[in-house]
Structures are given as C-alpha cells and as structure tokens.
Amino acid sequence: MLKYSLVGYDSSDSSQRAFRFAMDLARCGGGRVRVVSVLQVTQGGADACALMMTDSAAQRTVELQEELKSIAPDSDQFVDLEIIHGSPGDVLLNQVRQHPIDHIVIGHTGRGALGRWLLGSVSDDVLAGAHVPVTVVR
C-alpha cells in the first residue's frame, strides 16, 4: 500500500490533477502527501538570489497552502508542503532519498518534442531516475 506520495507542484492544471490524485490515494489508504514546489533562480548575484529566494519561498508557501486548501479542503490533514530551490527533476529525486517516499505523482504538461528539447521534461527526468513507482497524471 502506498503511504507517502510525493507531488511535484507548480500550480499548473496538470499539477493540480496530480495533487487531486495523490489526495485521493491518501484518503483511501491512510497515507500522506508531500507537496514540493520548486523555485528556480535564473540570474543575479549570490546575495540578491539568497534574498529573493527567502522572500519568494515565504510568500509562495502561504499562497500554496491557500491554493491546496481550495482544491482539497482537508489538505491540512494529509499534506506536508515544502518550497525548494533548484532543478525540478533533481529536487524531486532528492526528496525520495531524503524522505520515506514510496510513490511519485507528477502532472504531464503535454509539451511537444521541441518544447521538451528546449525546456527539458521533469517527467522524463523523474521517470529515468526514480527507484519508486511514478504515476504521470494527464
């Protein structure tokens, strides 16, 4: 039985569907959901980045808690939320090493081949590197 599902969450429709799916699993099986949102820093000096990341993470945490509660009013009973800076695929795979995650749920964005080539694909990265079951929700 799946007890601790990890959801990569970016507020997109596909990540919201992934969150709903993981919440349904948690409710049915008495499990928990670890929601991880990844903030990426693309430019700026180290000091500016550190300040921006702290402010962004604190504000984003409050926003996400409200958003998740609007999707699933009982989310506070099932969800552990964390905002992390880095590359989404790497962050999600590191979560599996750091926590007792036994299942990953991610949304599928539906990007074409060119989009995947230009921007990469979190689902491809996770599928290639995960050592636990992965559900990709469309």
**Positive/negative CA dihedral, 22, 15, 116, 46:** negative
Q: Answer yes or no: are the C-beta atoms of 56 and 8 closer than 8 Å.
A: no
Residue 126 lies in a domain: no
Q: What is the CATH number of the domain that holds 40?
A: 3.40.50.620
Give a yes or no: residue 113 inside a domain.
Answer: no
CA distance 14 to 22: 12
- 11 domain residue, yes or no: yes
Q: What is the Cα–Cα distance from 27 to 3, expressed in whole angstroms?
A: 10
E strand intervals along the chain = 4-8, 32-39, 79-85, 103-107, 134-137
Domain containing 92 equals 4-105
Mean pLDDT lowest among 2-6, 54-58, 93-97: 54-58
| Confidence (pLDDT) at 53 | 58
14 lies in some domain: yes
Q: Which pLDDT score, from 0 to 100, does residue 78 have?
A: 97
Q: Are 5 and 52 in contact (CB under 8 A)?
A: no
Q: Would residue 61 count as lying in a domain?
A: yes
Q: What is the pLDDT of residue 122?
A: 82
Please give the average per-residue pLDDT across 125-137, as a whole number: 91
Position 91 in a domain: yes
Q: Is residue 43 domain-resident? A: yes
Structural domains counted in the chain: 1
Task: Specify if 118 maps to a domain.
Answer: no
Average pLDDT over residues 34-60: 69
Q: Which residue has the tokens 């700026």?
A: 44
State residue 66's pLDDT score: 97
pLDDT at residue 116, rounded to an integer: 46
Secondary structure letter of residue 73 according to DSSP: T
pTM for this structure? 0.84
Give the pair of three-digit tokens for residue 48: 């500016």
C-alpha distance from residue 38 to each of 90, 92, 103, 127 (Å): 10, 9, 18, 18
- Per-residue pLDDT tens over the stretch 67-125: 999 999 999 999 999 999 888 899 999 999 999 999 999 987 665 554 444 345 788 88
- What does the pLDDT read at residue 117? 44
Among 4-13, 49-58, 122-131, the range scoring the smallest mean pLDDT is: 49-58
CA–CA separation, 108 and 35 (whole Å): 16
